[in-house]
Structure formats: structure tokens, C-alpha cells
Structure 1
């Protein structure tokens, strides 16, 4: 089965005592942001009901998770990790998923099979090549590049990117629906099954 790279936006970072349950479920394959021991004094119980916009309005309190996960499809891989993360951290909710990742220069070099200097020259246009995609700024102030744009610039055909667009659109819609009206949101396996029928025709 293929391995898929993706990231999750979480309603909060994980507490340190939630890391062991997550590790047991994922064998260390999922990297997450955490809340340090010193911040535990401010720990509050999760509300019984919440709206996704509440978290999105407080971006400084959001968490994130990233991984490479094996699955029959991207949808299956995402849903499995969503389940592992939420079951490891009671009260935490996955808000969004992103499968067109932002990459460092080193990440780009590894994916395109070039040296770091070669990628740097491509970015700066030092050797005549122009039009390299502009960088985006991470929350930590680092320059990062969107993989889909970089792949297009290098003329690379990444089939996972083709699968990612409709899959992410559908799963993000499902995540929003279950937070607003959970009673009518389909089960994760129903979403995965539906996408497995549709993706071959739209990807």
C-alpha cells in the first residue's frame, strides 16, 4: 500500500500525558505539537459542545499533527490517523486536513532528487532558471514552499497530489459537518467508501 504525507490542524496541542497513548497507537509515526508541563496549570475541561469557528478564531491555541501513513487510499490513511489522534486526547478535535504540504528547501531537494545547492539556485534564479514558485511564511517565520507548485515547476507528475485535492475537499467538509451537526454526519468509513468509488473518476 502507498504511504501518504499529510497534516492535521487540531483544536489544541496535545498535553504531555497524551503522548504515550498516541505513540502506542501510531508507533511514533505521528508528530504533534504539545503543551508543556508548565502550562498544565491552565488546563481546562473540554466543553461538551463546540463550534469549529471558536478554535479557528483562536489560531494561537491550535495544534497540529503531521505524518506519513500507509493506507489503501489517502482517505483511509487520513481517517485512521484522525481516529488515533482524537482517541488519544479526549476533547481534542481535528478541524482540517492538508495534503498539499509546505516544504523546506531540504524537503524539496529530497523529493525532486536534487542537491540543496541546486534547489537554492532554482529559487534564486542564479543559473538562469526563472519562475520558481514564491515561498509562503510559516507561523514560526520560516520560508516554505507549496509542493504542488514546486512539482509543477519541475515538471513532476505526482499522482498523490491528484488524489489529494478531491479527498481533502471532501474530508474537510465532513469535519466541518460533524462539528456543527454531528447527528447527521456520516461515519468515517462511509466517507472513505464513497471516496473510493469517486476518486478514480475525478482524480
Structure 2
């Protein structure tokens, strides 16, 4: 089974006390930003974020399994329950991540970004995180000519699961079960992608 990389946006950051249970449930395949305690959580209006690398039969199965693991962590202290708000399946990568994925040295990637190696016009970075620029994998893969079959699943799967997440928050009584979403995506993905 392939590994899938994706990001989940959470209703809140995790608490430090939730890290061990998260690690036990996900075997270290989900990394998160966290806050130390409830005091730090109060007044923190920022959502949480989880970077995931999960092995499954499909991207939709991987996402649904991680959602189940995160939302099943259980309550800690007075923290509100943890909910997944959205998914992004076309990951943002650092230069080091790019080098690893395309099989090049870090210096080769740095030179490509600067325009001194390759055809030029390297994709612009999408964002900066902790002083480091991040690039969207689909744009970098296209620039390097890397065919990543998982990207074919990324767009339709993200849109469908984000729609499901919104539906279950607005009218949960009509939202299908996660297995139904995964099954439907598997059945039609070859026609949509």
C-alpha cells in the first residue's frame, strides 16, 4: 500500500498532554503543533494543524483513518473536543522535502530555486513558515517533470472530503458515514481525476 502525505486543519491546537496518546494512535505518522496547557489554549484563536503520512489503499481511506484517530483522542482536562475542519492533499514542502522527493541534493534544489540551474522559472513559494519558504508539491513536480500518481487523487479527494466535513458540521444527520465517502470516491475517482 502506498503512503499518502496530507495536511489537516484542526479546530484547535493539541495540548502537550495529547501528544503521547496521539503518537500511540498514529505510530508517529502524524505531527502537530501544540500548546503546553489549557492556559495557552485559552485566547488562542489559531486553528491547529496536523501533517500526516499515512499508509492506506487510497488517499481518501488514509484521510478518513487519520480523522478518526485524531477525533478519537478523547477529552483532556477542560479542552474542547478536537475536530478536523479541512484537508489539503497537495502538500507544502521545504527545500529539503523537495530534494528528497525529486532525488536531488539540497544544493541542486537551492540553485534551481535561484534560477542558476535548470530551465528557470521555478515555482514561487506559497508561504513562509518559521522563516522557511514552502512550495506546493504539484507545481514543483510539474517543474521537475515528476509524475506523481497521488497528485491525480489529491484535488478531487480534497474537495469531496472538505464538502463532507462541512456537511457533517452543518447538518450531521444527513452526512454519510466516512466509509460511504471513501467507497464512493474509490468507485468514481477514475472518472473524475
Establish whether TM, by shorter chain, passes 0.5: yes
Distance 1:102 1:163 in 2: 16
Partner in structure 2 of residue 53 of structure 1: none
Cα displacement string for residues 51-76 of structure 1 (whole angstroms, at most 9, x for unaligned residues): xxxxxxx9952101112101011000
The 3 A distance-change label for structure 1 pair 118 and 60 is farther
Equivalent residue number for residue 136 of structure 1: 126
Contact 1:14 1:89 in 2 (8 A): no
Instruction: Check whether the contact 2:11–2:47 (CA below 8 A) recurs between aligned residues.
Output: yes
- Corresponding residue of 2:78: none
Take 1:136 and 1:88, find their aligned partners in 2: how far apart are those partners? 31
TM-score by structure 1 length? 0.87
Q: Secondary structure at the match of 1:61?
A: coil
The question of 1:24 aligning with 2:24 is answered: yes
Alignment of 1:96-115 (within 5 A): 96-115=86-105
Distance 1:181 1:2 in 2: 33
Name the residue aligned to 2:181. Answer: 191
Aligned counterpart, 2:167:
177
Partner of 2:69: 84
Alignment TM-score, normalising by the size of structure 2 = 0.91
1:41 corresponds to:
39
For structure 2, the residue ranges without an aligned partner over 5 or more in a row are 76-80
Give 3-state SS (helix, strand or coil) of 1:157's partner. Answer: coil
Secondary structure of the residue aligned to 2:86 is strand
Q: Which has the higher contact order (CA 8 A, sep 6+)?
A: 1
Alpha carbons of structure 1 residues 88 and 128: separation in structure 2 relative to 1, 3 Å = closer
8 Å contact kept, 1:7–1:98: yes
Over the aligned positions, Cα root-mean-square deviation in angstroms equals 1.8
CA distance, structure 2, for counterparts of residue 113 and residue 36 of structure 1: 37
Choose the corresponding residue for 1:93, options 73, 77, 83.
83
Q: Tell me how far apart the structure 2 counterparts of residues 64 and 43 of structure 1 sit (CA, whole Å).
A: 14
Once the two structures are TM-superposed, the CA of residue 139 in structure 1 deviates from its matched residue by 4.6
Distance 2:71 2:63 in 1: 12
The 4+ residue runs of structure 1 with deviation greater than 4 A are none
Shift of 1:201: 1.9
